[in-house]
Structure 1
Amino acid sequence: MDAVVHATLESFDAATHDRLTADPVRNTIALTSLDRIRRLPAEHFPTLITFHEDNQVVGSLIRTPPWPFQAADLPPAAVDLAVAVAAKIDPDAPGVTGPRERSEAFATATGKSYTESLATRQYRLGTLVPPSVEGTGRMAAEDDVELLAAWRKAFLAEAVPEAPDEPTAETMRSSLRLGNGHALWVINGTPVAWAVASLPQAGMTRVGPVYTPPEHRRHGYGAAVSAIVSRWALDQGATDVLLFADLTNPTSNSIYQQIGYQPLDDWAEFWWKH
């Protein structure tokens, strides 16, 4: 097996586009990450590696700094080679994420000490069942950026404390410019919950983050705003509407199933210890 490190996004796309889009559910993070880079070039060029056998692409590994490697398209046979190549060309990577078996195999093969920072379950929408909850939903706009930035920062601090610092206001502006759907649930003019859905890629949309400030929880607002943004995604033409729920939060897993989401697979994220 051979590895190819790609110096351009065009080269990587030529090698992987058909492969990644053939399974948009498993490759959800890669597809949205690559779309963002194409339309809003990042400050740091991503790490893009493909693995070849008998002149065929059999897997890939990507990383968009400052985030971990994405191992969803990394087959077991390529793990050792992937670890060796990644260590040479991207030694600053903080960890790896992906379907549990694949990400854990990569983390173990590095020989590094690591911690499991996130355990999630991937869901796909079946038949949407909007809940009956007080309030109304609306789509967010540029005027809401300050609120969205504050809530994204709070979400990351709570759900992904290892996450690197980011300019949250600019991240939210960029997301709106990309055409992603940001929904707010509103009570008497006051936003009480927020959810995001990505613009469809190969028929796939991913919902997340979903955030309700602590003072507004346990009223069903998170379910309501998730349903609003899921309907937005369907209206955009999505055929696979996905989301990830934290396995340590049984409430959110239950809520998503109540509005029509069905479990698919377990994912895990591992960060290296320093």
Structure 2
Amino acid sequence: MWQKFGVKDRVLRQNMFMADEVQYNLIHRICESERSICLKASNETMIFAQSEGHNAWLWISKELAADPKNKLVQELLEFLKGNELPGISGDQVIVEHFAEAYSKANGLQFVPYMIMESYVCSEVRKPAHVEGILHLATRQHLETVAEFLAGFSEAAYGVKVEPSSQIAAAESAIETGNFYLWLVGGHPVSMANIAHRSPRHARINAVYTPSAFRKKGYASAVVAELCSILIAEGLDPMLYADLKNPDANKVYQNIGFVESGQVADIKFK
């Protein structure tokens, strides 16, 4: 039996989910939106969460045996009849099993898109001798942030966009008061964003340094400083990193991030 739930539901505070919370941290953000579909099994061993137009996330407790797990997946597939999912994210074994069943039931194919590592940092190691300072982005940085977002789109997703198309996104990011730049001589050379705060963690994303400024420790420095801010707030910083980018993964590991579980991102077509 499936039940709808919200961000304050006890299922997000129970030990089974909290054991995997870093890996599935994005579920907190999804559940904050009233337009999201958030479902839990009545015994709280499975969560399905999807924000409109985006991949659904599927969590299943590691304590659940194979037979009841398969039964819940079949019940979920029945519940989702008529719903079109762009993709599914979560533990690779779990989401591949779901994707195979969902594709078969809906006459679709599924394609592995990305595998990410989830990381958490409880004790930050700041890089030494990195020139520059952390600076909160303001409207005076609007065009630079738009350029950086365009660069990030190409570097992270292989999607080329014009900086002018990112002005609105840059405005929104700056207005949150959580978007930071690393400045050297007053000039922005790297960026990172505090994307979301959940009860026990805060997620960092949009880490990017233009190619002309790489290999100088700027990304390490800006992320490390954000970690210090968050740890001072009593939150553990976390983030997701594409495993196809070994340089980024190394940066995070060097400043204290610890691997906390992989997430497979699968698309349906």
CA contact (8 A) 1:26 1:72 kept: no
1:72 paired residue number? 59
TM-score, normalisation: structure 1 = 0.79
Corresponding position: 1:228 with 2:225 = yes
1:171-182 map, 5 Å: 171-175=169-173, 177=175, 181-182=178-179
Quick one: which of 12, 26, 30 aligns to 1:20?
12
Quick one: which of 85, 100, 109 aligns to 2:101?
109
How far off is 1:170 after superposition?
A: 4.2
Quick one: which of 244, 259, 262 aligns to 2:255?
259
How far off is 1:142 after superposition?
A: 4.2
How far off is 1:175 after superposition?
A: 4.7
2:50 paired residue number? 63
1:81-92 map, 5 Å: 81-88=75-82, 90-91=83-84
The 1:192–1:84 alpha-carbon spacing in structure 2 relative to 1, beyond 3 Å, is farther
Amino acid at match of 2:90: G
Corresponding position: 1:138 with 2:135 = yes
2:36 paired residue number? 46
Match of 1:107, SS state, is helix
- The CA deviation string for residues 82-105 of structure 1, in whole angstroms up to 9 with x for no partner, is 2332342x21x2111122223222
How far off is 1:148 after superposition?
A: 2.9
Identity of aligned residues (%): 22
Corresponding position: 1:3 with 2:7 = no
TM-score, normalisation: structure 2 = 0.80
CA contact (8 A) 2:196 2:204 kept: no
How far off is 1:173 after superposition?
A: 4.3
1:185 paired residue number? 182
Match of 1:27, SS state, is coil
Quick one: which of 101, 122, 126 aligns to 1:126?
122
The 1:21–1:174 alpha-carbon spacing in structure 2 relative to 1, beyond 3 Å, is farther
CA contact (8 A) 1:118 1:160 kept: no
Unaligned runs of 5+ in 2: none
2:151 paired residue number? 154
Residues in 1 aligned to 2:51 and 2:91: alpha-carbon distance in whole angstroms: 18
2:31 paired residue number? 34
Q: Which runs of 4+ in 1 moved over 6 A?
A: none
CA contact (8 A) 2:111 2:266 kept: yes
Amino acid at match of 1:3: W
The 1:178–1:32 alpha-carbon spacing in structure 2 relative to 1, beyond 3 Å, is farther
How far off is 1:162 after superposition?
A: 7.8
Match of 2:79, SS state, is helix
- The CA deviation string for residues 114-158 of structure 1, in whole angstroms up to 9 with x for no partner, is 222111111111321111212221122344344334423432333
The 1:189–1:25 alpha-carbon spacing in structure 2 relative to 1, beyond 3 Å, is same
CA contact (8 A) 1:123 1:261 kept: yes
Residues in 1 aligned to 2:60 and 2:219: alpha-carbon distance in whole angstroms: 31
Unaligned runs of 5+ in 1: 7-11, 39-44
Amino acid at match of 1:194: M
Bigger-Rg structure (1/2): 2
How far off is 1:177 after superposition?
A: 5.0
Residues in 1 aligned to 2:41 and 2:123: alpha-carbon distance in whole angstroms: 37
The 1:263–1:57 alpha-carbon spacing in structure 2 relative to 1, beyond 3 Å, is closer
